Amino acid sequence: MERLQKVIASSGVASRRKAEEMIQAGRVKVDGQVVTKLGTLVGSKNTIEVDGVRLEREEHVYYLLNKPRGIITSTTDDKHRKTVVDLIDTDKRIYPVGRLDYDTTGALILTNDGEFTNYLMHPSSEITKTYVAKVKGILKGKEIHMLESGVYIDGKMTEPAKVKLRKVDEKNNTCMVEITIHEGRNHQIKNMIASLGMEVLKLKRERIAFLDVKGLQSGEYRLLSPKEIAKFYGMNSKHKKNH
Ligand code: URA
């Protein structure tokens, strides 16, 4: 049995707080009866309606995909291009958690669990993402320090990052740099590098928190285990109490 507001939030209809408001406002029915008490426990056999619309409840699934280059991170595409969802053989209504650019490769989580998605995406969760970028030009100590302490993108400073120079190719004037961030602004890594007047030639997300794509070929995926999901929630002490 799960708490009503949590089930509504998991279905993706609303955040947990919004779901609580909906319950208190008398907009939610369980088995045909209006329920206004927060924390009412419901099981998989109970029917839940929000504003008269029945909530469809699917078993939650979680995938880790090693995203190939040239695939869009979306559920549908108006130009009929292949999406990351097309790579996964499932009948569940999954969607990607966050975005990787068309030409970015690496770790991407897909799920049908709205609450888990909200948790991973919320800035307060501070889930780290580690990227490896091939950069045109060679980063110097000063530039690495700038990336670490924060650079301006669209007038807003980035949060502190961890930066490690992995490889320098003097001959071709390129370098490989590892950058770990917990924000998820649009094109963040490319824009951070661009703020130094340099360009990202290739970008891979190697890790999301403790999860990496080792053992997964490009385009391959695997299911995440309940233990791995619990580990994500355990990383945030505020959230731990609710699970
Ligand atoms: N930063 C980028 O610039 N692109 C991505 O795909 C992810 C992070």
Q: What is the DSSP string of 54-111?
A: EPP-----EEEEEEPTT-BSSS--TT---BGGGGS--SS--EESS---TTEEEEEEEE
69 lines ligand 1 (CB under 6 A): no
**What CA–CA distance (Å, rounded) separates 55 from 116?**
18
Q: Which of 53-67, 153-167, 190-204, 205-219 has the lowest mean pLDDT?
A: 53-67
Q: Which of 30-34, 44-48, 108-112 has the lowest mean pLDDT?
A: 44-48
pTM across the whole model: 0.81
15 lines ligand 1 (CB under 6 A): no
**What CA–CA distance (Å, rounded) separates 190 from 211?**
22
Reply yes or no on whether 91 is catalytic. Answer: no
**Ligand 1 centroid distance, CA of 145 (Å):** 20
Tell me which range, 73-87, 106-120, 150-164, 228-242, is most confidently predicted by mean pLDDT. 150-164
Catalytic residue among 51, 77, 101, 103: 101
71, 72, 104, best to mutate for ligand 1 pocket (most atoms within 8 Å of CB): 104
At 239, the pLDDT band (50, 70, 90 cuts) reads low
**Ligand 1 centroid distance, CA of 171 (Å):** 26
Domains of the chain: 2-54 (3.10.290.10), 62-124+211-242 (3.30.70.580), 128-208 (3.30.70.1560)
Average pLDDT over residues 66-93: 93
188 lines ligand 1 (CB under 6 A): yes
At 209, the pLDDT band (50, 70, 90 cuts) reads very high
**What CA–CA distance (Å, rounded) separates 174 from 136?**
5
65, 66, 100, 132, best to mutate for ligand 1 pocket (most atoms within 8 Å of CB): 100
At 238, the pLDDT band (50, 70, 90 cuts) reads low
* Other CB atoms within 10 A of residue 114 CB: 19
What confidence tens digit (pLDDT) does each residue in 99-155 have? 999 999 999 999 988 778 989 999 899 999 999 999 999 999 999 999 999 999 999
**What CA–CA distance (Å, rounded) separates 87 from 219?**
7
CA angle 153, 66, 198 (to 5 degrees): 30
**What CA–CA distance (Å, rounded) separates 167 from 129?**
20
100 lines ligand 1 (CB under 6 A): yes
101 lines ligand 1 (CB under 6 A): yes
Q: What sign has the CA pseudo-torsion 235, 237, 239, 243? A: positive
pLDDT of residue 76: 86
203 lines ligand 1 (CB under 6 A): yes
**Which amino acid residue places its CA nearest to atom 2 of ligand 1?**
187
192, 205, 208, best to mutate for ligand 1 pocket (most atoms within 8 Å of CB): 205
Q: Which atom of ligand 1 is nearest to the CA of 129?
A: 8
**Ligand 1 centroid distance, CA of 39 (Å):** 39
